[in-house]
Amino acid sequence: MDLGLTGKVAIVTGASRGIGLATARALSAEGAHVVGAARKPSAELEATGALPVAVDLTDRGSADVVLEAALEAHGRLDLLVNNVGGDAGLGPVGFAELSDDDWLDVFSTNLFATVRVTRAALPHLLESRGVVANVSSIGARQPDFPPVAYNAAKAALTAVGRGLATEVSPLGVRVLTVSPGPTRTDMWAGPDGIGARFAAASGLTLDQVLDGAPEHVGMLTGAMIDPAEVADLLCYLLSPRAASITGSDHLIDGGAVRAV
């Protein structure tokens, strides 16, 4: 299926590894020009052909740096994937253990970074009648697993996507949310990831934790998600083939969220 993404200019945030890297790779394979932002752009990102931009997206000026890089290289912007996020290294800590700074860290990474990049990108997306896709989480709808600050930030992100879609879709800009369940990236499977911290707390090995994660979270498919699956869903939603899809939140969670 030709997704019609050839020649489109896309910014992907959090593009050095995991879901962002898979998305940069998939968009590049579809013929898009990708600008990938991360604090430490990786060799794998460069290998996709993307233009790497080294920025900490929690810094206030970083959104302008990313936009300037995209516009200088390609003169336009069509697609924005707000993928940057994570639990800021908190792990499965309870509410009482979360400090003000922890809440601010998590909201900076998962919400404010996306708000700033989207605000800087919007005039250009209005001009190109482009698309915004935000990467949220099943935690936004089902905030059962700590830290609650992460789920709350993702719930806010999902709400921002819905509200922005209402505002800008009549002007030609679609806004989508994709909400993954446990996906096999560093966030879960890396040496400092959720799995490792859960293993340390429970006495299990990392492999045991990762093998048990799908059942623990209630996934019906029994397997963690491959980041390439999330990237493929994003590519479809970003493409003109999804021209009538806007404002919606798309679960990719192995059936973990049961609510209708």
Contacts of 12 (CB under 8 A, 6+ apart): 20, 23, 24, 27, 34, 35, 36, 37, 50, 81, 83
User: Judged by CB under 6 A, does residue 23 bind ligand NAP?
Assistant: no
- In whole angstroms, give the CA distance from residue 59 to residue 120: 14
Q: How far is the CB of 14 from ligand NAP (least distance, A)?
A: 3
| Member of 5, 24, 26, 38 binding ligand NAP (CB under 6 A) | 38
Q: Could you tell me which stretch among 23-31, 38-46, 162-170, 239-247 binds ligand NAP (CB under 6 A)?
A: 38-46
As a whole number of Å, the CA-based R_g of the chain is 17
Provide the CB-side half-sphere exposure for 175 (13 A, CA): 27
Nearer to ligand NAP, 183 or 246 (CB): 183
Q: Could you tell me which stretch among 77-85, 117-125, 232-240, 241-249 binds ligand NAP (CB under 6 A)?
A: 77-85
Nearer to ligand NAP, 45 or 240 (CB): 45
Q: Could you tell me which stretch among 69-77, 81-89, 121-129, 240-248 binds ligand NAP (CB under 6 A)?
A: 81-89
SS (H, E, C) 182-238: CECCHHHHCCCCHHHHHHHHHCCCHHHHHHHHHHHHCCCCCCCECHHHHHHHHHHHH
What letters, b where the CB count within 10 A reaches 16 and e where it falls short, cover 110-143?
Answer: bbbbbbbbbebbbebbeeeebbbbbbbbbbbbbb
Q: Which two structure tokens, joined as six digits, stand for 16?
A: 């050095």
User: Judged by CB under 6 A, does residue 142 bind ligand NAP?
Assistant: no
Catalytic annotation, residues: 150
Nearer to ligand NAP, 84 or 152 (CB): 84
User: Judged by CB under 6 A, does residue 216 bind ligand NAP?
Assistant: no
| Member of 12, 57, 77, 79 binding ligand NAP (CB under 6 A) | 57
**Concatenated DSSP letters of 30-54:** TT-EEEEEESS--HHHHHTT-EEEE
Q: How far is the CB of 137 from ligand NAP (least distance, A)?
A: 4
User: Judged by CB under 6 A, does residue 147 bind ligand NAP?
Assistant: no
Considering only residues 175 to 194 of the shown chain, the ones binding ligand NAP according to CB under 6 A are 180, 182-183, 185-188
Per DSSP, the three-state class of 89 is: coil
Q: How far is the CB of 51 from ligand NAP (least distance, A)?
A: 15
User: Judged by CB under 6 A, does residue 248 bind ligand NAP?
Assistant: no
Considering only residues 100 to 139 of the shown chain, the ones binding ligand NAP according to CB under 6 A are 109, 135, 137
Per DSSP, the three-state class of 13 is: strand
Q: Which residues bind ligand NAP (CB under 6 A)?
A: 14-20, 38-40, 56-58, 83-86, 109, 135, 137, 180, 182-183, 185-188
